[in-house]
């Protein structure tokens, strides 16, 4: 899980050396002692759902993983609240306001920016509903499409964790539906 792509200290440009402590290896500056801690980068993701239990995915127009199907969302800014970041991303990517539902879960994954630097991601995933159907996809999106569970392009998903995220989503959706029909049959 170590990223050895960094060679110089971001504070003083001294040489970094990887040293082991806290059960991990960390780049430590040999000149000023700065420890360049590496952490998974947080993202906020929207599993956008309709009333029929379909999800809205987009085909990536940009690298990495261009041409693969992806959940909408993106990287959080430093110090940004996940839900605020999710709303910002949906404005940027689709030009829409959203209704944020339940948290589906939190998932780790990796994201390659270039050959040398492998970033790990910590993906915070919410159920989301759209307030409008008029979408204005930005240049990051090649195509937008609604998928039922059977239609999801499972072997064409952009990132590994998305199998699990979407499986968890569909399970939660079905559990909700069962709970609701259970309730209504008790009432009647
Ligand atoms: Zn330094």
CA distance 74 to 42: 9
CB-based contacts of 79, cutoff 8 Å, min separation 6: none
**Measured in angstroms, how far is the CA atom of residue 51 from the centroid of ligand 1?**
54
**Measured in angstroms, how far is the CA atom of residue 70 from the centroid of ligand 1?**
38
**Measured in angstroms, how far is the CA atom of residue 114 from the centroid of ligand 1?**
24
If you average pLDDT over every residue of the chain, what do you get?
Answer: 92
**Measured in angstroms, how far is the CA atom of residue 26 from the centroid of ligand 1?**
13
β-strands 69-70, 24-29: how paired?
unpaired
What is residue 117's predicted lDDT score, i.e. its pLDDT? 74
CATH code for the domain defined by 1-38: 2.20.70
How does pLDDT run across 64-123, given as a tens digit for each residue? 899 999 999 999 999 999 999 999 999 999 999 999 999 999 999 998 766 667 789 999
Q: Are 58 and 137 in contact (CB under 8 A)?
A: yes
**119 three-state secondary structure:** strand
**Measured in angstroms, how far is the CA atom of residue 3 from the centroid of ligand 1?**
18
CA distance 67 to 177: 33
**Measured in angstroms, how far is the CA atom of residue 30 from the centroid of ligand 1?**
7
β-strands 24-29, 55-60: how paired?
unpaired
**Measured in angstroms, how far is the CA atom of residue 115 from the centroid of ligand 1?**
24
Domain 41-161 belongs to what topology? Nucleoside Triphosphate Pyrophosphohydrolase (3.90.79)
**Measured in angstroms, how far is the CA atom of residue 106 from the centroid of ligand 1?**
33
**Measured in angstroms, how far is the CA atom of residue 14 from the centroid of ligand 1?**
5
What is residue 133's predicted lDDT score, i.e. its pLDDT? 85
pTM of the model: 0.89
**Measured in angstroms, how far is the CA atom of residue 35 from the centroid of ligand 1?**
8
**Measured in angstroms, how far is the CA atom of residue 17 from the centroid of ligand 1?**
11
The model's confidence at residue 188, banded by pLDDT at 50, 70 and 90, is: very low
Radius of gyration of the chain (CA): 20
Query: 153: closest CA among 118, 161, 145?
Result: 145
Query: 62: closest CA among 157, 139, 160?
Result: 139
Torsion of CA 92, 97, 103, 108, to 10 degrees: -10
The model's confidence at residue 182, banded by pLDDT at 50, 70 and 90, is: confident
Hey, where are the domains in the chain?
Answer: 1-38, 41-161
């Amino acid at each position: 899980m170590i990223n050895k792509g960094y060679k110089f200290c971001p504070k003083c440009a001294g040489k970094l050396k990887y040293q082991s402590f806290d059960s991990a290896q960390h780049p430590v500056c040999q000149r000023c002692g700065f420890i360049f801690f590496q952490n998974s980068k947080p993202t906020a993701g929207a599993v956008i759902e309709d009333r029929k239990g379909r999800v809205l995915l987009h085909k990536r127009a940009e690298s990495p993983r261009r041409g693969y199907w992806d959940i909408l969302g993106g990287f959080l800014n430093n110090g940004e609240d996940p839900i605020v970041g999710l709303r910002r991303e949906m404005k940027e990517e689709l030009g829409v306001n959203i209704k944020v539902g339940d948290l589906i879960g939190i998932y780790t994954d990796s994201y390659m920016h270039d050959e040398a630097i492998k970033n790990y991601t910590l993906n915070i995933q919410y159920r989301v509903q759209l307030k409008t159907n008029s979408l204005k996809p930005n240049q990051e999106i090649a195509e937008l499409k609604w998928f039922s569970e059977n239609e999801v392009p499972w072997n064409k998903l952009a990132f590994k964790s998305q199998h699990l995220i979407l499986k968890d989503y569909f399970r939660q959706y079905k559990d909700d539906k069962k709970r609701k029909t259970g309730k209504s049959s008790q009432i009647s």
